Amino acid sequence: TQLLEQSPQFLSIQEGENLTVYCNSSSVFSSLQWYRQEPGEGPVLLVTVVTGGEVKKLKRLTFQFGDARKDSSLHITAAQPGDTGLYLCAGAGAAGNKLTFGGGTRVLVKP
């Protein structure tokens, strides 16, 4: 069974501060996805990283896939209250059609 551990579980910061969320595993994944989930809704895909060492930027969000494709990080610069939500990482196996989700990181950005 492939496991993904996210840290921290909860993060509370002030508007304008930076934050980093980590996603770690002992298993290799063919790709790693990050989702954001708002209360009462399903998760929505933010980004997919495929290549070891890959870095992707989405406005103030920077995603990195580890060289060995076992870990990933999400960095938010100058966080805003609209960034509040549950962030989930998910790893895809070789077949690509099943995902293993991490436990999630709940982010609260206070104005």
Distance of closest approach, residue 104 Cβ to other proteins, in angstroms? 5
CA neighbor of 38 nearest in space, from 103, 101, 82: 82
Task: For residue 82, state whether it binds other proteins (rule: CB under 8 A).
Answer: no
Sign of CA dihedral 76, 81, 83, 85: positive
**How many residues in the chain?**
111
Tell me whether residue 76 or residue 90 sits nearer to other proteins (CB atom): 90
CA neighbor of 88 nearest in space, from 70, 100, 98, 79: 100
Instruction: Give the per-residue contact string, 7-46, with other proteins (x = CB under 8 A; - = no).
Output: --x---------------------x-x------xxxxxx-
Distance of closest approach, residue 97 Cβ to other proteins, in angstroms? 5
Task: For residue 78, state whether it binds other proteins (rule: CB under 8 A).
Answer: no
Task: For residue 103, state whether it binds other proteins (rule: CB under 8 A).
Answer: yes
- Count of residues interacting with other proteins (CB under 8 A): 24
Q: How far apart are CA 99 and CA 29, in angstroms?
A: 10
